[in-house]
Structure 1
Amino acid sequence: MASVPLSQVAHLELMEGPNQISRENGKRRIVVTANVRGRDIASVVADAQEQAARVTLPPGAWITWGGQFENLAQARHRLMLVVPGCFFLIFLLLYAALNSVRDAILVFSAVPLALTGGILALWLRGMPFSVPAAVGFIALSGVAVLNGLVMLTRVRQLIAGGAAHEAAIREGALSRLRPVAMTALVASLGFLPMALATGTGAEVQRPLATVVIGGLISATLLTLVVLPALYARFGRSRPAETDAAVDLRGAAPAE
């Protein structure tokens, strides 16, 4: 068998070109990667999309945005369903425990008080809103509602026992001050190492812990003040209704 020189069957030329040609779904793909620091991914991609819209692409070419931004978009879509569902379930559990729509709404008022502290904590630490922060808001809402439920349950017990409306509210708030404060303190101290984390996974731990700690501080302080005030204004005095029912049942029939 005779050997044929390569120069007779091919033209060789040294030039620069791509070292790898990637394909996806039968089409060529070029990947441009970038790491984002100091800003949230959503705003960076929004700015990049605005600049990319000014570029005229050749026929058959298009731009897609993936990576962490794609995961963020999918998680945001799921959270739009999960977060309202969680709040609705929390309200149903409150109604089942209190058997009153009015009292359930009053306890549920602790949720916006907690969310305010979580948002303020993110702003003070210069952290953008992210999926871990949203998960932290869900966990925070449960703890805040629990503290309000503990206080309101005690107030209702005192009112059912015959205490005056305002006296029961004052005594219930003072008697449940220590349990509510201890619950918030234990949860905050438990999340403190996560809020100060700097190692692997810190980008997930810090927003979640920051939201929980900041929200618990605001929820604890405001629940001890706002919830008694709301119940004093919109709550129902149960002893008066009970006494009236007893008088009607115990009254002698008219002759």
Structure 2
Amino acid sequence: SGLPGLVEFRSLSKTGLSQVTLIFADGTDIFRARQLVTERIGQASGNLPPGAVPVMAPISTGLGEIVYYSIGYAADAKAPADESTRLRDLRLLHDTRVRPALRSTPGLADVNVIGGHERQMLVEPDLAKLAKSGVPMSELLRAVRRNTENAGGGVVTLGGEAFTVRADTRVRTAQDIAGIPLRPAGLGPAVTVGDVARVSVGNASRMGAATVDGQEAVVGAAIMLAGENSREVSKRAVEKLAAIGTHLPEGVKLTVLYDRSDLVGATIRTVETNLFEGALIVVVVLLVLLGHWRAALLVALAIPLSFLLLLTGMAVSKASANLMSLGAIDFGLIVDGSVVMVENFLRRLEERVRALGRPLTEDERTAELSTAAGEVAGPMFLGVTVITLVYVPIFALEGIEGKMFKPMAAAVVVALAASALVALTVMPALASFWLRAEGHAEEGGLIRR
């Protein structure tokens, strides 16, 4: 407690695990917060039980698991017949070769593993043999612990050269532990760990498992660093897995189970399809309502131009273009101002042509367009402003709701502002070059009847 910006503190404790969750105010610098928490952990470490080492979770979010994969044997591979041994070997291979290599992928915060068995050396004392040999249990524990730790022996200088002395007591096989001496031969018959205990390769206790296609398996999860692009990081992780797979033992393969880039790609395709179909429908409706193909195409230009301004604004503000933000764009609202502007242009030009009984000169067309723009500029701008004000209350949302809906409201507001700008500037300029009323002296189109 007492950390700047800390909003909520909660903890969960159960057998073998204690989890502490700190929630900071929105906008807090995550790196500074982690530094402060690390300092507090260092202060509290002295009060923890022996062997309890606090570890801070990686910088990620609840949706940070972007790639799931499994490691297993191919159908024709020579795999251990015993399932427990097979899962233990796969877990060891993953933890020693796959995980370290995958963690080096840019954009990944960590790699988790689910399922399998963690390899352990099991020492099961025989109480009768301990009593017969006269070796206490404490001595057995002390000998195993002392002889499985690396130790330095200093430096020996010979002939002007310095040699580092190091005791490498890493355990590789069960026989390494079984051969540890408990009592030297000079004090009676020599006694080793193997004489008073059964030493074997076993499995550590586990709290869960993973299955693939109904079969127990070893599954890995690549966790993305908070703030990274999930599509790009997913692609890099999958490519890295493919490279790692080429260096695994024969018959062992890595299979991608879930790739976030597939979901992102499907979302992008959905947005693109919706935008294209929406724009096409708007163009067809405009052609039917205006009854003038030049006017319809002129109004339709407001869609890509307004959308380009929207994307420019989002790029400058570093806003995310996603399904929530882009999916809320209504092309009907975007072309609303341009429809009003172009329809009034067309009406004024046709009325002037009918009044004069001849085509208009360039000066006359420019004057009519200027007058027509002045007539509807105010009402059109007011209409767009009213629609924009509808979305303003959304910006007052906070927390999860604010993060979900603020990008949508911001995208709509920027799109409406861009459409108003296009209607007031681009439409009059293009109409002076493109729009003609000759040959349309009779009123046509549903919107002008």
> Given the two structures, how large is their TM-score scaled by the length of structure 2?
0.46
Structure 1: 5+ residue runs without aligned partners? 1-6, 244-255
Change (3 A) 1:30 1:181: same
2:249 is the counterpart of 1:59: no
Residues 132, 207 of structure 1: 8 Å contact kept = yes
Q: Deviations over 1:30-84 (max 9, x none)?
A: 2526365323321232232333332125635302334x65543332233333221
Residue 400 of structure 2 aligns to a residue whose secondary structure is: coil
2:214 is the counterpart of 1:22: no
Change (3 A) 1:144 1:241: closer
Change (3 A) 1:114 1:197: farther
Change (3 A) 1:188 1:117: farther
Rounded to whole Å, the distance in 2 between the matches of 1:20 and 1:89 is 53
Change (3 A) 1:218 1:201: same
What is the identity, as a one-letter code, of the residue corresponding to 1:213?
V
Q: Which has the larger radius of gyration?
A: 2
Q: How many positions carry a matched residue from both structures?
A: 230
Change (3 A) 1:179 1:44: farther
> Given the two structures, how large is their TM-score scaled by the length of structure 1?
0.77
Rounded to whole Å, the distance in 2 between the matches of 1:78 and 1:124 is 24
Rounded to whole Å, the distance in 2 between the matches of 1:116 and 1:195 is 23
2:377 is the counterpart of 1:184: no
Residue 62 of structure 1 aligns to a residue whose secondary structure is: strand
2:275 is the counterpart of 1:87: no
2:229 is the counterpart of 1:37: no
Greater fraction strand: 2
Match for residue 370 of structure 2?
A: 170
What is the identity, as a one-letter code, of the residue corresponding to 1:101?
W
What is the identity, as a one-letter code, of the residue corresponding to 2:288?
A
Change (3 A) 1:40 1:142: farther
Give percent identity, aligned residues only.
17
Rounded to whole Å, the distance in 1 between the matches of 2:346 and 2:440 is 13
Match for residue 432 of structure 2?
A: 232
Q: Deviations over 1:121-174 (max 9, x none)?
A: 2123212321223213x42x3212111101111122222222742222112211
Rounded to whole Å, the distance in 2 between the matches of 1:203 and 1:79 is 20
What is the identity, as a one-letter code, of the residue corresponding to 1:237?
A
What is the identity, as a one-letter code, of the residue corresponding to 2:213?
N
Change (3 A) 1:98 1:35: same
Deviation at 1:12, TM superposition (A): 9.8
Q: Deviations over 1:158-213 (max 9, x none)?
A: 22222742222112211111222123222333223435644224343233222222
Rounded to whole Å, the distance in 2 between the matches of 1:93 and 1:212 is 22
Residue 258 of structure 2 aligns to a residue whose secondary structure is: coil
What is the identity, as a one-letter code, of the residue corresponding to 2:334?
A
Match for residue 324 of structure 2 among 119, 132, 145: 132
Residues 117, 211 of structure 1: 8 Å contact kept = no
Deviation at 1:228, TM superposition (A): 0.8
Match for residue 152 of structure 1?
A: 342
Q: Deviations over 1:79-128 (max 9, x none)?
A: 33322111110100010111122111101111122112211221232123
Residues 166, 232 of structure 1: 8 Å contact kept = yes
Change (3 A) 1:35 1:192: farther
Change (3 A) 1:189 1:51: farther
Match for residue 105 of structure 1?
A: 297
Greater fraction helix: 1
Residue 65 of structure 1 aligns to a residue whose secondary structure is: strand
Q: Which runs of 4+ in 1 moved over 6 A?
A: 11-14
Match for residue 306 of structure 2 among 114, 119, 122: 114
Change (3 A) 1:208 1:152: same
2:319 is the counterpart of 1:123: no
Rounded to whole Å, the distance in 1 between the matches of 2:410 and 2:379 is 22
Match for residue 215 of structure 1 among 412, 415, 419: 415
2:222 is the counterpart of 1:48: no
What is the identity, as a one-letter code, of the residue corresponding to 1:96?
V
Match for residue 351 of structure 2?
A: 161
Larger displacement relative to structure 2 (106-115 or 78-87): 78-87
